[in-house]
Amino acid sequence: MAARLGEARPSIGRSIACIGFMGAGKSTAASSLAQALGVHALDVDSVIEERLGKPIERVFAEDGEAAFRQAEEQVTLELLNASQPGVVALGGGAVGHERVRDVLKNHLTIWLDVGLELAWERCRDGSRPLARDQSHFERLYRAREPLYAELADATVPAERSDRMQPVLEALDALPPGSKLLWATSASGDYPAYIGPGLVTQHRFWPPAISGSRFLVTDGNAGRLYGDLLEPLAARIRIMPGEQSKTIAHAEIVWTELVRAGTTRDDVVVALGGGVVGDLAGFCAATYQRGVRYVQVPTTLVAQVDSAYGGKTGVDLSEAKNYVGAFHQPSAVLADVDTLDSLPAAERAAGYAEVIKTALIAGGELWERVRTGADPADPHVITACARTKLRIVARDERDAGIRQVLNLGHTVGHAIEAATGFAAYRHGEAVALGLLAALRLSDREELRDEVAHLLKAQGLPTRLEHADPDAVVMATARDKKRRGSGEVPFVLLDAPGALRTGCPVPARDLVATIRELAA
């Protein structure tokens, strides 16, 4: 493995650097990586303690933080620049040094991504001098997180720090300029690759995924990019558009898979937008009781949202996504260069999902989006995907926190169903749904700001092609409804602060949707 990784990523002979906040498991990850590669693991904090002859807690107490930071920078640079490559676990604050950040650009950098609650739980009762005040701890976390994200070639959840061999395999032959997000869930892990030219220039395919490839695509994506995924055992095409996401079209795909000889050792490749991904994923989940599939999303909606998380399904005429299954992909290949071929209206539709995700994430992502960041910027796409994957890791099957991802979708899905899935693109309906959710949340200033952002991208801010009362009736059939109760809504107090399972009085819902049409 070490030789193959060295050939694919010139950073071995460089070192691998493990970065992340306090309690992320950087030392554990470094040991796991070193064992897999047959090289040495070094821990910056341990070397500092050895050099200075005392624990870091005493360094802070007796010499001050400035003295520690000076030693941290010196030791980190020394270990990273060593002639013999190895794996180095950096201190949580090492990325604060400009010289360290510059050197990390020449190394393979893996971010161990730990949630704030877990980090505090792991650190609060220990001897760490910067983990004694929770408010200060949280401020440090928020300040450092953008640095980790910017520097990371690969992002791995802290809970997987002791199992890094699959991450190394996923990194094999990763093209330059691409990022790896390691997705984890109760039913399985997979790599999500994001970058320019991933498929269009480099024709990248995950090295760990074997088997014959059976392509499911629509006429647009298949014509533009199908040849780049060769060798293909078969090509199955559907018509573009939400009208193809039906049981009837699923039967066509199943039948074609049978005729092409697809077996459980093979892999379905979903090339296209959210419709193709949902349909192909559902067919993979149910064909022979489940075969592997790889998502190759080519629309903004799919690259920032629908390609990740394993929700697959088809629509009924009465309601959206009513028949489906949870089935995690084996990989996601998001080539941001495929977005260049999108019509302006499709690109705009994806922007609604970017806004939704930024409102869920809050913090730096919301600031980027609200100040005009290009939604197709790889940094924005990666941040959106990372936000969703963090949530899915905690709640794969929509039993709790994952419900925040439905922000704006209850009304959005109802608009789609009430118009026969023909009048609005998914993102356009979600745009209107977001405005409804913000009105129901009583967040008028934020609603005005979001409306301005949506309008600037050419998205609708007024309901024009549906009867408001029909939309209200369609919300009652939302799949999140439980028992005989009302449909629970996701409401928002502020970007990054959401509430799930919120009851909404019928009169308020009616007034809100009628206002959208006014």
Residue 198 and residue 337: Cα distance in Å, rounded? 8
Q: Quick check: 21 and 92 in contact, CB under 8 A?
A: yes
Q: Are 499 and 444 in contact (CB under 8 A)?
A: no
Per the CB < 8 A criterion, the answer to whether 317 and 282 are in contact is: no
DSSP-derived secondary structure letter, 303: I
Angstrom distance (rounded) from CA 144 to CA 152: 12
Equal fold, 2-173 vs 190-342? yes
Rounded to whole angstroms, the Cα distance separating 324 from 12 reads 43
Query: Right CATH number for 2-173 from 3.30.70.260, 3.30.450.40, 3.20.20.140, 3.40.50.300?
Result: 3.40.50.300
Is domain 190-342 annotated with CATH 3.40.50.12780?
no
pLDDT at residue 219, as a whole number = 93
User: Does residue 344 contact residue 375 with C-beta atoms inside 8 Å?
Assistant: no
The pTM assigned to this predicted structure is 0.94
What is the per-residue pLDDT for 127? Answer: 87
57-84 core/surface letters (b: 16 or more CB in 10 A; e: else): eebbeeeeeeebeebbbebbbebbeeee
For the chain (518 residues), the mean pLDDT of every run of 10, in chain order, is: 37 77 98 93 97 96 96 97 91 98 96 97 92 96 97 97 95 92 96 98 96 97 98 97 95 98 98 98 98 98 98 92 96 98 94 98 97 95 98 94 96 94 94 98 98 96 94 87 77 97 94 95
**Cβ–Cβ under 8 Å, residues 446 and 438:** yes
Locate the domains of the chain by residue range.
Answer: 2-173, 190-342, 401-517
pLDDT of amino acid 484: 54
Contact 128, 57 (CB under 8 A): yes
The pLDDT of residue 173 is: 84
Task: Provide the 8-state DSSP code for 486.
Answer: P
Rounded CA-CA distance 288/267 in Å is 12
Q: What integer pLDDT is reported at residue 481 of this predicted model?
A: 72
Query: Could you tell me the CATH superfamily of domain 401-517?
Result: Dehydroquinate synthase-like - alpha domain (1.20.1090.10)
The dihedrals phi and psi of 145, each to the nearest 5 degrees, come to -55, -45
Asked whether the CA dihedral 260, 264, 266, 272 is positive or negative, the reply is positive
Query: What is the rounded distance in angstroms from the CA atom of residue 477 to the CA atom of residue 471?
Result: 10
